[in-house]
A and B are shown apart, each in its own frame.
Chain A
Amino acid sequence: MLRFLLRRLLIAIPTMFIVVTLAFFMMRAAPGSPFVNERHLSPEVEANVMAKYGMDRPLVVQYANYVGGVLHGDLGPSLKYKDKTVLRIISEGFPNSLLIGGMAMGIAVILGVSLGVIGALRQNGPADYTAMGVAVLGVCIPTFVTAPMLVLLFASNLGVLPTGGWPTATQPFSSAWRYFVLPVVVLSLPQIAIISRLTRAGMIEVLRSNYVRTARAKGLPEHSIVLRHALRGAILPLVSYLGPATAGVITGSLVVERIFSLPGIGKAFVASALMRDYTVVMGVVILYAGLILFLNLVADVLYAALDPRVRLS
């Protein structure tokens, strides 16, 4: 177990290094500079600004400085928001993204697993077809279609939910929840679809396996067979889906935060990329790469814990 963790860490380090390097040099290769849009800077002033951020030094030196900073947990100052560091921008936006993404994943797991189990138990029945129909729709309708459509229906036409925005910090949850409904629904739909398909396939396979037959032979009640014995085996594929799911939710949040104008990190990322705010872009990429790596690791460890046939080595 320990050796496995160590080996995975040894892979994670070069991966993170590649992420940092790629992000750094791609951002610097981009035409335009973070200071371009500011009112006509005289060449002297611009040189001064560049010097302030160390951007007059050779690229390799800048790179070394940046990597050194990252190793110390310092992601540098934002180049656009003069009074903010990258860490501050991340710590302002990330909790909001995490809240929406976490709720979406929670709902997706509960609904997806239920739909999948129902589908597998009533295979080829009407419930199965309904569940799988929902799943197909969820996969085929991208977030950037569902989001505006739902806004059009529930916010513009019916007026029951806000078109976007974020509750103020003091707002009680009894009224704040309205802001979360549409973003969470939009983010969770594709995940519900994928999770229900995975669960259904896993469940069908497990229900045919010997240990489930043994459980039946022992005369266990059906709900205990399904919930205690079969489900545990059937959700294994789900565990390894954890990493990709996170990536999916993060990607989705880029769209969702933009459409609903949520103060999350995805919105900050797109805006920074367009404004050439190098340090913010790199910071977000590093954060998300680390998050995905970490969750992949968690998935592997969980998988081994749930499936005694798997030995980590």
Chain B
Amino acid sequence: MESAVLKGRSLWDDARRRLLRNRAAVTSMVVLALLVVVAVVGPYLAPFPFDQINKNDVWMKPLTGGHLLGSDALGRDLLARLMIGLRVSLAVGVVATFVSLVIGVIWGAAAGYIGGRADEIMMRVVDILYSLPFIFFVILLMVTFGRNFILMFLAIGAVEWLTMARIVRGQTLSLKQREFIEAARAAGLSRRAIVARHIVPNLLGPVVVYVTLTIPGVILAESFLSFLGLGVQEPMTSLGSLISKGAQDMELAPWLLIFPSIVMVVTLMAFNFIGDGLRDAIDPKDR
């Protein structure tokens, strides 16, 4: 246990120092930054638009015909498609995670802080939702409402908020007992002010960790849907639908499977290492 004097800013300084000493996490951050830049800027610099069909360039091997990573059955440039797919996957990951973050933090903090019957009921709702086979409902949703981009964000986000709510509630319950909350209450702050000013900022640690671990989970979920043919629609693409297409044509054109798979795995690994690094840095007793 650190003494109370060490809390506040220095806790975060400590965390940053620990994080920067973690080689896997730092490498992952660099890799991830590169991937984000490629996903955002890359498609504008690519020699081919991602949806341009080139009848003469069908099944080009990598490094031939100006296609650095080869081309697919319609002669579309794999590099350009890969960059767009990465962009879509990252966007789905970030947006859906944000949805889950907002719902989860509000729900969990409210349940934990209000306590009593409200807590009981709110957490029972989480328990019930938790035991539903959610992937089936996401599949049903996609079937029901067509392959709608925004809906996919919402559906996946709505699935992922449950764990967030549980983490936030647990943390809130333990924070509630602490002296500084007592002090805030004694100073006459309103409930809402206490939650907003004192509880939520102190939840940041575990929430940040969980967010970095949720993003790859969401990317995975989206890819999973795309793989089953329920994700984004052609000519738009994502890492999952690229892998799905690649798997169909792998005997003929293995590069269509291999490159998207590599990008997918590297992305997921980077997020996981950063998440683990953050957890070790923020909560050193969990090591």
- Check if A and B associate: yes
Q: Which residues of A contact B (CB under 8 A)?
A: 11, 14-15, 18-19, 22-23, 26-27, 29-31, 136, 139-142, 144-145, 147-149, 151-152, 156, 243, 247, 250-251, 254-255, 258-259, 269-270, 273-274, 276, 281, 284-285, 288-289, 292-293, 296
Contact B251 A156 (CB under 8 A): yes
Q: A140-B265, A149-B261 are in contact. Are A26 and B251 (CB under 8 A)?
A: no
Residues in B whose Cβ lies below 8 Å from that of A31? 144, 146
Contact B133 A285 (CB under 8 A): yes
Interface residues as binary, B222-250 with A (CB distance below 8 Å gives 1, 0 otherwise): 01100111000000000010011011001
Q: Mostly helix, strand, loop or mixed at chain B's interface?
A: helix
Residues in B whose Cβ lies below 8 Å from that of A141? 265, 268
Of A142, A148, A270, which contacts B250 at CB under 8 A? A148
| Interface assignment of B174: CB less than 8 Å from any CB of chain A | no
Which residue of the partner chain B has the closest CB to A143?
B224
Minimum Cβ distance to chain B for residue A20 (Å): 11
Minimum Cβ distance to chain A for residue B25 (Å): 13
Residues in A whose Cβ lies below 8 Å from that of B228? 254-255, 258, 270
Residues in A whose Cβ lies below 8 Å from that of B145? 29-30
Interface centre among B124, B144, B220, B273 (most CB of A within 10 A): B144
Minimum Cβ distance to chain A for residue B142 (Å): 9
Interface residues on B, range: 35 or more
Of A15, A22, A144, which contacts B131 at CB under 8 A? A15
13 further A-B contacts with Cβ under 8 Å, apart from A11-B128, A140-B216, A255-B228, are A11-B127, A136-B272, A136-B273, A141-B265, A142-B268, A148-B246, A149-B258, A151-B250, A152-B254, A251-B224, A269-B136, A274-B143, A285-B136
Residues in A whose Cβ lies below 8 Å from that of B167? none
Contact B139 A11 (CB under 8 A): no
Which residue of the partner chain A has the closest CB to B139?
A273
Contact B261 A254 (CB under 8 A): no
Minimum Cβ distance to chain B for residue A9 (Å): 13
Contact A145 B261 (CB under 8 A): yes
Contact B140 A144 (CB under 8 A): no
Contact B220 A22 (CB under 8 A): no
Interface residues as binary, B256-280 with A (CB distance below 8 Å gives 1, 0 otherwise): 0110010011001100110000000
Which residue of the partner chain B has the closest CB to A254?
B228
Contact A26 B227 (CB under 8 A): no
Residues in B whose Cβ lies below 8 Å from that of A30? 140, 143-145
Interface residues as binary, B112-156 with A (CB distance below 8 Å gives 1, 0 otherwise): 000000000000100110011101110111011110000000000
Which residue of the partner chain A has the closest CB to B128?
A15
Residues in B whose Cβ lies below 8 Å from that of A250? 133, 135
The contact sample of 29 A-B pairs, CB cut-off 8 A, is: A11-B124, A11-B127, A15-B132, A19-B133, A22-B140, A30-B144, A30-B145, A31-B146, A136-B272, A139-B268, A140-B268, A140-B269, A142-B223, A148-B243, A148-B246, A149-B261, A152-B254, A152-B257, A156-B250, A251-B135, A251-B224, A269-B136, A273-B140, A274-B143, A274-B229, A276-B143, A285-B133, A285-B136, A289-B136
A293 to B128, CA, bound (A): 10
A284 to B139, CA, bound (A): 13
Residues in B whose Cβ lies below 8 Å from that of A18? 128, 132
Which residue of the partner chain A has the closest CB to B144?
A30
Contact B257 A149 (CB under 8 A): yes
Contact B264 A145 (CB under 8 A): yes
Shortest beta-carbon contacts, A-B, top 6? A148-B247, A30-B144, A140-B268, A144-B227, A140-B269, A145-B261
A136 to B265, CA, bound (A): 11
Residues in A whose Cβ lies below 8 Å from that of B131? 15, 243, 289, 292-293, 296
Minimum Cβ distance to chain B for residue A154 (Å): 13
Q: A15-B131, A19-B132, A141-B265 are in contact. Are A273 and B143 (CB under 8 A)?
A: yes
A259 to B133, CA, bound (A): 21
Contact A144 B224 (CB under 8 A): yes
A26 to B227, CA, bound (A): 22
Of A26, A139, A148, A270, which contacts B272 at CB under 8 A? A139
Contact A145 B136 (CB under 8 A): no
Minimum Cβ distance to chain B for residue A282 (Å): 9
Contact A26 B141 (CB under 8 A): yes
